Every structure is written in structure tokens, then in C-alpha cells.
Structure 1
Amino acid sequence: MAAKANQHFVPQYYFRFFVGDTKCIDLINLSSGRLIEQASIKGQASKKYFYGDEAMEDNLTTLETLFRQPLRKLKQNKTFSCLDYEEVIIALQGITFQRSRTQAARLDHKVIAQQWAEMFKEISINNCDQFSEDERVELMESVSVEPNIEALQLTLMVQAVKQGALLGDLGMVILKNRTSRPFIFGDAPVVFQNFFQKNIIDRGVLGLRTPGLQIYFPLDSRTAIYLYDPNAYNVKANKLGQVEVRSKDDVDKLNRLQVHNSSSAVYLPSKDSAGYVLQLWRESRREQFISKGRIDEYSVKHEGQTRHILLNYEAQLSYVPDLTFSSCSSLAASDDLLIDREAWDGRRYIPDPRPWHMPELRQRFD
């Protein structure tokens, strides 16, 4: 078991997408801005027994092997047309799986899980008639609760794989970096954002079916996956589904997303990019990880009584950039309630959408 104690939440094969057979990589610590040179890849984006025992690690390795194949084909061929329908679905599942498995994802969910645990503790104590009011107060102060965040994350990872196909209606392009600046990556390389709904701050807008969703996932310093809602953004790709990114400003924005999204480190594909990435870190004012996990409480009147409603969701990053290659003509209003892309055509929301079976996606790749 000791041989599998060091468990990676970003697989080593993904590091090799950027540095080839090199066993070391340079990185920048996000809390201090310190440059660390020639760090062993084996020790990166990993923790001791992060997921659990040897059997769990074996299961995750099996999934990694499955998801690696279509991602490698995309990196090599730089077009989604190289994949058949089943491979596209596996690639989408690999993207959602990678997003769900990181230390950053665990920290995001830990905030929500802890608040829910505290709430259930309060309910349990207050609903127990055998305690006096003084005893309830004492118990609330003395009893501590801590959720099993590792088990929760594993559940969410399973759910992420099952629901990955829900991204099948998104536009799918490969970004080809034509600038002198590299795409960098962090320890949470899959980034979700929603520029179309950037003004919505009181509920989640990063769900797999949410209108306006954008997903960015670099595959090497010159290549990246970009998924987007075609009803919200205008992306001009060539016949192979490729977008030539020639704006350094766009590359900077995508790299800042990696800085903001990761929990502890970003990685440098080349030694000569250290000064550039350090400047991004300074401009991002990134000195601590800010959890995206949120719980909002609302009070409503019902049958003469005040009821409390708790809404938990994942907030957007504090940095939500506008990308020139993915223009958005208008933004959703703060009072718009846009939940499911299937019910939204870019102009109006249909209350009763038709069942969703992804026929368009199968036609595109069969």
C-alpha cells in the first residue's frame, strides 16, 4: 500500500503533455509567489492517501487510462473531428472528472459541507425535547462536527463522470496558441466560467446545463480545449473546429484563470516563462485560495410563519474575463432565471423543454 500512498489529483500524464519525458517542472507557489525550479513531477498535485486505500487508487488509475486516450488524440490532432461519438463522450467525462477530483474542488465543497453539518447539528439539538434550554446552549458550544469530505468528494467524482455527457450540446473547439506566450496550467486545470451570466451573483451559474457556460482546459503550451454555449457566444472556427488565438491579451486572460482557479501552484511549461507568470501572479493579487462554495439563507413567510431556505452553490471566480475570440453580444440580467440550455435558444426561455437526448451531437460525430 505504501507504494500507492502518494496519490495525484492531477495525473502525471497530464504534466507530460507539457514537458514531454522530462521528470521535473518549474512552478510558482501561489501563496507566496515563490519560484521553485526543477521540482519532481512525482510530488506535484498530490497528497498522501488523498483518495483512500490501494483499491481506490487502482480504480482511479483505470479511469485515468480511459480518459487519457481521447485527450491525447485531441492534443496530437488538434481537432474534435479526430474523435468518434463515444470518444467525445469519454473526453467530456474526463473533463468533468478532472474538475471534480482536485484539492481545489475539495476545498470548495468543504465550506458547504461544514455549513450543512453545523445546521444539522443545530436542528438535532433543538428538536430533542429531553434537553433544557441551557443544555442546548451548552451542547451547541461544546459539540463539534466535521463532515467526511473525502467521502463526499468521491461521491461527487462519480456523479461528475455520470453527468459528463450533459456537456454534449456545447460548441467544441481547439485553441491554437499563436502568440509568444505559453498556455500555463495549475493544480486545478479545468476552469468553468460564465461571462454571459457574470452579473448573476446570488445563485450558481456553473452547472453542466447552465446557459452561457464556458470551459477552458489546456492540453499543452500551444493547445487547449474550449467548450462554450453557442447560443451565448460567437466563436469563429475554421473547418477543423480550430481557433487561432493571436491576441496576447487573450492568452494572459486564460492564464490568469489558471492562477485564480488553482489551490496552491501553477506550472511553467518552459524556464523562460517564469518572469511572465510571476507578473500574472502579481496582477492577479493571488495570495490565498478563495473557496467558491457558497450557502445563502433566505427567509420567507409561509402560513403565518417565517421559514428559512438554504441555497448552496458554487460561485464564479472573482476573475471572469471577456475573450475576444468568443464574443458575447449581451449579458443576462440579474433577474433572469436561466437554468437549462435545452430550454433557452439565446433569446427566450421555454418553460417546458423537450426531452434531451443529444441527437445533434451524435450526428456531428457519426
Structure 2
Amino acid sequence: MPQNKSHHFVPQFLLRFFSVNGSSVGLYNLRSGRIVTGASLKHQACRDWFYGRDGKAEHALGQIEGGASSVLRRMIATGLPPKRYSDDHRVLATFLLIQSARTAQAAAAANEMANKVGKLMLRYTLTEPELLAVLDDLTIELTEPAAQALRPALLETPVILDLKIKLLHNVSSTPFVLGDHPAVKHNGLYNGADVSVLGLANLGLQFVMPISPEYAVVLYDEKAYSLGNPASNVVKLPSASIVMALNEFQWANALDNIYFRPGNDPPRWTPDHDRLAELRGNEQVSVWEDEVRLEGTKRAKVINVQTQRPRRALKMPLFRNRMSPPPLVNVGRLPLRDPEWALHVHRMTAALNAGVIPQEEFHVRTMPPQFLRRILRERAGTNAATTG
């Protein structure tokens, strides 16, 4: 049976939540400003052979999407997020993390980093003046960057399972929209920082992703922020201005298109030209050289790579800081939510990649204690019911 060469980097089931008829969706193209009210779902957020021709990554994504589709449908139907430390919690966290790594925008950022770092290193290794003269005219790109990002993202899921989940219920007159890079990371605790604080283990991390015009899911560091009523995992949004502020994260991070449910009125909730230019930047990766002192008087050059810095124009509404941000001492010592757990997951990942432990052992040893306690409680309840 021939493989499907058109690979979606935003799954069709998610786009379908923004559809009226299940087969088309509204589209705003960021390059041209063109609006299409009936764009075919089949041809949106996809590229030929985006995850490679062997079909392995596409097959793995299909399995993840199957579970995620069921979880998101339940959330929309019930108006409730998954219970904390449940299987649905884990499935949702995995999906958001994979979704943030699998898009054309993520691939473009990876290629930008490879191009800048590669050229900087070549300037030190090339000796032929003719080659150095044409270096700026060359472009260095990765082979299948999206497919290469999937395995690391999947293995890093245990790092974000401590984040609290809430569902935002939009009851305003302005709908949520969906960009083609929909799962967005932010860090309001260090808003506007000059270094990246969007690492998965960083203190203050936030995830936000719309799942329909009426709902968006957020994952966040509850030690750093409060959000809504502590007794409820649902936050109602009657304010159109708050919804528009949340939508700006989609406008800022999308590569080509913003999707919306046909029947909504794009001119009413589209940022004006100046605001859109402020939200969107051409450069995603900064690369520069530094000289550092090593072992007393020895000095060496190092290459610094800065990706995913918080955008100063973006402000995450609703969240209230529960703490003052600890100072950023240097890029090697950014504040982490749980340094010991992050190091443990890192060590287990290294052991798995080196073939020291099998996949099954990795999953067991990186299962957070809260999830293990839930599994043991459920097994105890099942055994009691059986023996009773």
C-alpha cells in the first residue's frame, strides 16, 4: 500500500475543531494578508515527506494523535481538563510537547541554528580564500529536522509532567484562533529576558494551545503563578481583550497561516499592521562568540547559541506571579523548577541513547512519583473489587 506523502505538522483532527463542516477551515495568510473562508483541511499545515520517506515518524505521530484526539474531544465535550496525574494528563502533555517540536516553524528555527553555527565554525576551519568569499552565499540545512526533533521531545515529556493543567473557557465575543505552530511556550516570570528561559525544566514555564474557538489548554508552573480560582481547573474568559492577547501568541509564532472557524469576522480580531510587525521577528536564533578563561590563565573561544528568547511584545494575561524571579546568574545556571528531577531524566535519556537501559526501563524510571502513586492506588482498588 503506497505511503501518504503529504505529512501534516498540525493534525487534521485539531484543525477540524475549528471547522464548521469538518472538511474546511478559515485561513489568514500571514505573508499576503489574504483571507480564505473555505480552505480544504486536507491541504493545510502539511508538506510532502516532511517527516521522511520511511514512514516511521509519521506512523509514530499517528499513534500519539489517536490518543490525543480522544483526550481533546473529552475536554471539549465536558468543558473540563484531564485529572491531574491521570493517563489523559500524560497523553495531553506528550501531545503538546510533540506539537511544539514538529511544525514547519520549529524546523525553520532548527535550520537557522544549523546555518549560523555551521558557518561560524567553517570560518575557523576553511583556509581557502575562495571558499571563505562565497560562504555567505551558501545555506546549511539539516536533513529532516522535524523528524529528528520528535524523539528528543518524546523522551523529555517526564520533565513537564509537574506542570498544572487548566482549561480556559472563552465566553467572549472573540474566538480563539489557531496558528500553524499552535503549542506555544512562554515564561512570564522572565518576560523580556535577554537569554532563553523557555527550557522545559525552567522555573516559570508556561504552555498555551487553543483546541477550539471556545477552549484553550494551559500548562504552567504553579509555584511561579496563580491562575483563576484555586478550587477550579476551568477559567472563564468573558473579556475579548484577554482572548485577543492570548491569540497574539498564535500570530507571533505561526510561520504561514492562522486558522479560524468560518463565520467569524477576521477584521474584528486581526492585529493591525504595526502590531503584527511588532509581534513577529525575522530572527529566531542568535549566534555569537565569547572568550572565556579556562584553568587559570588559559583562554578559549566558545560559541553561544540563543534560541527561543521570550518576545518582549508578548504579555501573557490572567497569570499572577506568586514569587519574585530569582536572578539569572549566567546561561549555565538558569533557575530550574526541580533540578534533581531534570538531572535524573537527563541521565536516564543518556543511558537509553547509549543502549545501557531498554525503552521499558526508561519509561518506568522516568515516571514521576505522583503518577506511580496513582497507578498503585488504582491497582489496589481493582484488586479489592476483585477479591470482594
Normalising by structure 2, we get a TM-score of: 0.79
User: 1:42–1:318: structure 2 CA closer, same or farther, 3 Å change rule?
Assistant: farther
1:177 lines up with 2:208 in the alignment: no
- Letter aligned with residue 271 of structure 1: G
Counterpart mapping for 1:125-204 below 5 A: 125=126, 135-142=127-134, 146-201=139-194, 203-204=195-196
The equivalent residue for 1:106 is 107
Aligned equivalents of 2:374 and 2:168: distance in 1?
Answer: 19
- Letter aligned with residue 274 of structure 1: P
Aligned equivalents of 2:80 and 2:208: distance in 1?
Answer: 15
- Letter aligned with residue 321 of structure 2: C
1:361: how far off?
A: 5.3
Q: Which moved more, 1:80-89 or 1:253-262?
A: 80-89
The equivalent residue for 1:25 is 25
Q: SS of 1:181's equivalent?
A: coil
1:332 lines up with 2:328 in the alignment: no
Aligned equivalents of 1:212 and 1:339: distance in 2?
Answer: 9
1:318: how far off?
A: 4.3
What is the aligned counterpart of 1:244 among 222, 236, 241?
A: 236
1:258-283 deviation per Cα after TM superposition (whole angstroms, max 9, x unaligned): 00010011011232321123345653
How many residue pairs are counted as aligned between the two chains? 345
The unaligned stretches of length 5 or more in structure 2 are 341-364, 378-388
1:88: how far off?
A: 1.4
Q: Is the 8 A contact 1:107 1:291 kept in 2?
A: no
- Letter aligned with residue 71 of structure 1: L
The equivalent residue for 2:16 is 16
- Letter aligned with residue 201 of structure 2: R
What is the aligned counterpart of 1:268 among 249, 260, 274?
A: 260
1:6: how far off?
A: 1.7
Q: Which moved more, 1:232-241 or 1:139-148?
A: 139-148
Aligned equivalents of 1:322 and 1:53: distance in 2?
Answer: 39
Q: Is the 8 A contact 1:67 1:90 kept in 2?
A: yes
Q: Is the 8 A contact 2:84 2:165 kept in 1?
A: no
1:89: how far off?
A: 1.3
Q: Is the 8 A contact 2:184 2:249 kept in 1?
A: yes
Aligned equivalents of 2:326 and 2:83: distance in 1?
Answer: 38
Q: Which moved more, 1:274-283 or 1:220-229?
A: 274-283
User: 1:317–1:363: structure 2 CA closer, same or farther, 3 Å change rule?
Assistant: farther
- Letter aligned with residue 359 of structure 1: P
The equivalent residue for 1:96 is 97
Aligned equivalents of 1:51 and 1:161: distance in 2?
Answer: 15
1:359 lines up with 2:355 in the alignment: no
Aligned equivalents of 1:160 and 1:152: distance in 2?
Answer: 12
1:314-337 deviation per Cα after TM superposition (whole angstroms, max 9, x unaligned): 2223432141x2112565366455
Aligned equivalents of 1:335 and 1:224: distance in 2?
Answer: 31
The equivalent residue for 1:218 is 210
Aligned equivalents of 1:281 and 1:359: distance in 2?
Answer: 48
1:151: how far off?
A: 3.3
Aligned equivalents of 2:146 and 2:61: distance in 1?
Answer: 13
The equivalent residue for 1:73 is 74
Aligned equivalents of 1:103 and 1:230: distance in 2?
Answer: 31
Q: SS of 1:189's equivalent?
A: coil
The equivalent residue for 2:311 is 317
Q: SS of 1:149's equivalent?
A: coil
Q: Is the 8 A contact 2:174 2:269 kept in 1?
A: no
The equivalent residue for 1:228 is 220
Report percent identity of matched pairs. Answer: 22
Aligned equivalents of 1:89 and 1:189: distance in 2?
Answer: 19
- Letter aligned with residue 339 of structure 1: P
User: 1:363–1:173: structure 2 CA closer, same or farther, 3 Å change rule?
Assistant: farther
1:117: how far off?
A: 1.7
Aligned equivalents of 1:239 and 1:270: distance in 2?
Answer: 35
The equivalent residue for 1:283 is 275
1:205 lines up with 2:197 in the alignment: yes
Aligned equivalents of 1:21 and 1:238: distance in 2?
Answer: 37
Q: SS of 1:75's equivalent?
A: helix
- Letter aligned with residue 316 of structure 1: P
1:155: how far off?
A: 2.2
- Letter aligned with residue 28 of structure 1: Y
Q: Is the 8 A contact 2:38 2:262 kept in 1?
A: no
Normalising by structure 1, we get a TM-score of: 0.84
Aligned equivalents of 1:30 and 1:311: distance in 2?
Answer: 31
Q: Is the 8 A contact 2:291 2:302 kept in 1?
A: yes
Q: Which moved more, 1:87-96 or 1:333-342?
A: 333-342
- Letter aligned with residue 335 of structure 2: I
Aligned equivalents of 2:21 and 2:124: distance in 1?
Answer: 55
User: 1:229–1:308: structure 2 CA closer, same or farther, 3 Å change rule?
Assistant: same
Aligned equivalents of 1:359 and 1:84: distance in 2?
Answer: 10
The equivalent residue for 1:347 is none
Aligned equivalents of 2:84 and 2:18: distance in 1?
Answer: 21
1:146: how far off?
A: 4.9
Q: Which moved more, 1:96-105 or 1:74-83?
A: 74-83
Q: SS of 1:80's equivalent?
A: coil
- Letter aligned with residue 189 of structure 2: F
Q: SS of 2:270's equivalent?
A: helix
User: 1:247–1:329: structure 2 CA closer, same or farther, 3 Å change rule?
Assistant: farther
